[in-house]
Amino acid sequence: MKTKLFWSILLLLLLALCLMGASAATVYFEMADPINDEHGYGSYQYPTNIAFQPYQGLFDITEFKVQAGEPGGGPGWVYFDTRFAKVTNPWVAPEGFIHQNLRIFINKQPNRGLTVLAYAGANVKFNPQYGWEVGLRIVGWGNSQLLTMIDQNTVKARPLRVELLADHQTIRAYVPEKLIGVPLKSWRYYVLVGSYDGFGEDFFRKVAPKSSEWVVGGSSGLAIEPRVLDILAPENGSHSQTRQLDSFDRKSGALAELYPVGAYGLNMDPITWLIIFIIIVCISGIIYLLVKRPKYISWFWVRRAE
């Protein structure tokens, strides 16, 4: 009776696995970001124009997720979702957002890739151990691009489809899987956002000591300061947002160096956890059957007790 119960439970778990596999998207990577930290290296302030109301949340990254195309969204796509505390669209950009000048850079292999931006403007560079081979330039008014490294001197740019999702907080970029490959757990990500300026370098708004109608305030007035208000980073530690964005050298003029995030621990989706659980249940069942019906174990085979 107990044996039948065990196999019935196992069958139900397998059925649940099949149903989940048919309905759930595979999540390759996800990470939450601290809230209320959209102040660059600590002191940046919003421009004062009414278009930036409510003067908070517009540049505050709260979550980042990389996942496979969802059912109904078509196979062969990778979705890059960046969630903000608030998104408004005062100039009615067709993508559904305009304030966020968002960049995502991907390191696929350590000790490889570019350490500088494809276009000057954000005033940051990347850790030499984790250069980028793929970049997503996410911005309004049809200016979004998928950037892929050809070699150390050449980057290819392609049009990139982006949009604001129905939750009015998440900006999604759609990338063909065939252009970048299936994301691996070893991939690392840089995610950074500045304020959109249609006349700025790479659309990044300038920073200055004092905020004004169209200028981000709170800087020390140096031209090399990052024009970045938030990055995906741990809240504390040597790679916190403050430490990274404040790493520019005021004497030599070296730009702030960013460090990527990645799946440094067990970062598995629910289906993977369920598979592990089923394996554990199966092993437990085998042990149970062996204990229930003792066997003598020799060097080369297992036989029942007489």
pLDDT tens-digit map of 164-185: 999 999 999 999 999 999 999 9
In this structure, the answer to whether residues 153 and 35 fall within a common structural domain is: yes
> How do residues 136-161 score in pLDDT, each as one tens digit?
999 999 999 999 999 988 999 999 99
pLDDT band at 78 (very low <50, low <70, confident <90, very high): very high
Question: Do 226 and 124 meet the contact criterion of CB atoms below 8 Å apart?
Answer: yes
In this structure, the answer to whether residues 115 and 51 fall within a common structural domain is: yes
Look at the chain and report how many structural domains it folds into: 2
| pLDDT attached to residue 121 | 97
In this structure, the answer to whether residues 77 and 132 fall within a common structural domain is: yes
Question: Do 248 and 74 meet the contact criterion of CB atoms below 8 Å apart?
Answer: no
In our burial notation (b when 16+ CB lie closer than 10 A, e otherwise), range 227-241 reads: bbbbbbbeeeeeebb
In this structure, the answer to whether residues 147 and 285 fall within a common structural domain is: no
> How do residues 108-130 score in pLDDT, each as one tens digit?
999 999 999 999 999 999 999 99
Residue span of the structural domain in which 149 resides: 27-262
| Among 21-30, 212-221, 258-267, the range of highest mean pLDDT | 212-221
In this structure, the answer to whether residues 258 and 275 fall within a common structural domain is: no
In this structure, the answer to whether residues 170 and 290 fall within a common structural domain is: no
In this structure, the answer to whether residues 183 and 44 fall within a common structural domain is: yes
**How far, in Å, CA of 224 to CA of 254, rounded?**
8
In this structure, the answer to whether residues 119 and 247 fall within a common structural domain is: yes
Torsions phi, psi of 38, nearest 5?
A: -85, 50
Q: Cβ neighbours of residue 83 under 8 Å, at least 6 residues apart?
A: 61, 62, 63, 64, 65, 167, 169, 170, 171
What are the counts of helices (DSSP H) followed by strands (DSSP E) for the chain? 4, 16
**More confident: 295 or 287:** 287
Q: What is the CA radius of gyration of the chain?
A: 25
Q: Which secondary structure element, helix H or strand E, spans residue 173, and what is its range?
A: strand 170-176
In this structure, the answer to whether residues 14 and 73 fall within a common structural domain is: no
**Residue 22 confidence (pLDDT) above 50:** no
Torsions phi, psi of 4, nearest 5?
A: -65, -40
Q: Any idea what the CATH number is for the domain that residue 179 is in?
A: 2.60.40.1190
Question: Which of 7-21, 45-59, 77-91, 171-185 is the least confident region?
Answer: 7-21
Among candidate residues 86, 42, 55, the one with its CA nearest the CA of residue 226: 42
End-to-end, the C-alpha distance of the chain in Å comes to: 24
In this structure, the answer to whether residues 162 and 280 fall within a common structural domain is: no
**Residue 73 confidence (pLDDT) above 70:** no
Question: Which of 18-22, 59-63, 205-209 is the least confident region?
Answer: 18-22
Question: Which of 45-59, 170-184, 272-286 is the least confident region?
Answer: 272-286
Question: Do 205 and 215 meet the contact criterion of CB atoms below 8 Å apart?
Answer: yes
| pLDDT attached to residue 14 | 53
**More confident: 264 or 40:** 40
**Residue 282 confidence (pLDDT) above 80:** no
Q: Which residue has the tokens 């200028």?
A: 215
In this structure, the answer to whether residues 162 and 257 fall within a common structural domain is: yes
| pLDDT attached to residue 299 | 46
**More confident: 11 or 160:** 160
**How far, in Å, CA of 140 to CA of 171, rounded?**
11
> How do residues 250-277 score in pLDDT, each as one tens digit?
999 999 999 999 975 444 444 555 666 6
Torsions phi, psi of 172, nearest 5?
A: -110, 135
In this structure, the answer to whether residues 149 and 203 fall within a common structural domain is: yes
Helices (H), 211-301: 241-245, 270-292
Which amino acid does the sequence have at 258?
Answer: L
Which amino acid does the sequence have at 264?
Answer: Y
**More confident: 11 or 40:** 40
Question: Which of 25-39, 61-75, 239-253 is the least confident region?
Answer: 61-75
